[in-house]
Amino acid sequence: MNILVTGANGQLGEEIKRKVNEIGNGHPDHDSSEANYYIFTDRDELDITDEKAVDKFVKENFVNVIVNCAAYTNVDKAQEDRDLAYSLNALGPLNLALAAKAVGAVLIHISTDYVFGGTYNTPLPPIEQTDPAFVPADKDKNFYGYSKMVGEDLIQQSGCKYLIFRTSWLYSSHHKNFVKTMYNLKKKGASPKVVYDQVGSPTSAENLADFLVWIIESNTSETRYLSKQGVYNFANNGVASWYDLTMGVYGDNSAIVNPCRSEEYPSPVKRPNYSVLDVSLTEKTFDYDIHYWRFALNNVIYELETQEQ
């Protein structure tokens, strides 16, 4: 198969590149002549907001699977930069979906817990597929989440074959992210103030990349993972607040981390105060065990420490 990965220079795209390099652009159990071929693009190579360019690229490269990692991810700035956020998070995925439909390809789209409207106060995690307690994102209070939600809807209405994975609190050992910021503050001996009343599911971009490549490489006539159409969650197992996550980074120095409430950090965006994702359907459908968040975090911290040596 030919697999197109968009947004390849972003946090998740970089992790997919690394995983593919490890397996040599194909499954290690496959003969080289049967290896899958990955095509990595970022905006300079393929602008997903350009419908004609997307259609042409997919057809000319005989694409069988599209993994869409491209997105507008600046949550606060999206409140003001609405046109670009909507183009990248809603219209871009639609263009990919229409191109996929035209050639019979499968679209794997990465979405977010921000599609939940911020009033999800049930003690149970949001489940996959259609959750009766789902409160959609309000475009006036959370335009980023709204634009991602529209992107999901447009994909499902396009008639293409799709897999949508909602993830949350994504981090890695590279690019700008919360864990890396806290790690750098720890190295400086800083005492950060971190909110404890927003609870979610921290997710290692490396773990998500491993999963995505795994379902592509393990897709056989027996498993048919790429035919399991639907909306799923992928996040590391467990529950944490931003304060808990910071404590995990600081380790023995966690006593100098100061807990605070969200109101001490005013924001133009209404963030989900409880967006723990239930991943049981993902684990069952794809026969895959997802790591606990503390285990995944320790691996990333080890990578950060290794980079300094």
Q: Above pLDDT 90, what percent of the chain?
A: 74
The answer to whether residues 89 and 152 touch, using CB atoms and an 8 Å cutoff, is no
CA dist 305 and 300 (Å) reads 9
Instruction: Please check the confidence at residue 268 and state whether its pLDDT lies above 90.
Output: no
pLDDT reported for residue 222: 84
pLDDT reported for residue 149: 92
The verdict on residue 48 lying in a domain is yes
Q: Which residue among 72, 120, 144, 232 is the active-site one? A: 144
Please report, for the domain that includes residue 19, its CATH number.
3.40.50.720
Instruction: State both tokens at 248.
Output: 């995990």
- Of the listed ranges 18-22, 127-131, 214-218, the least confidently predicted one is 127-131
pLDDT reported for residue 266: 81
**Which residues are 200's β-sheet partners?**
240
pLDDT reported for residue 115: 87
pTM: 0.93
Write out the H or E segment, with its range, that includes residue 6.
strand 2-6
The verdict on residue 193 lying in a domain is no
The verdict on residue 198 lying in a domain is no
pLDDT reported for residue 7: 97
Number of domains in the chain: 1
Distances (CA, A) of 51 to 10, 95, 164: 21, 5, 20
Q: How confident is the model at residue 267 (pLDDT cuts 50, 70, 90)?
A: confident
The verdict on residue 54 lying in a domain is yes
Which residue type does 288 have? Answer: Y
pLDDT in tens, 137-193: 788 888 999 999 999 999 999 999 999 999 999 999 999 999 999 999 999 999 999
**pLDDT greater at residue 32 or residue 248:** 248
DSSP of 31-94:
-GGG--EEEE--TTT--TT-HHHHHHHHHHTT-SEEEE------TTGGGT-HHHHHIIIIIHHH
DSSP of 201-252:
--EEHHHHHHHHHHHHHT--TTT-GGG--EEEE---BS-EEHHHHHHHHHGG
The verdict on residue 99 lying in a domain is yes
> DSSP character for 182?
H
Q: In which domain, by residue range, is 78 found?
A: 2-170+204-236+276-291
Instruction: Please check the confidence at residue 212 and state whether its pLDDT lies above 60.
Output: yes
The verdict on residue 175 lying in a domain is no
CA dist 229 and 227 (Å) reads 5
The verdict on residue 17 lying in a domain is yes
What is the three-class DSSP state of 200?
Answer: strand
pLDDT reported for residue 276: 86
Which residue type does 59 have? Answer: K
The verdict on residue 121 lying in a domain is yes
What is the three-class DSSP state of 259?
Answer: strand
pLDDT in tens, 78-127: 999 999 999 999 999 999 999 999 999 999 999 998 887 655 445 555 55
pLDDT in tens, 134-152: 667 788 888 999 999 999 9
CA dist 36 and 226 (Å) reads 14
Instruction: Please check the confidence at residue 252 and state whether its pLDDT lies above 80.
Output: no
Task: Respond yes or no: is residue 144 known to be catalytic.
Answer: yes
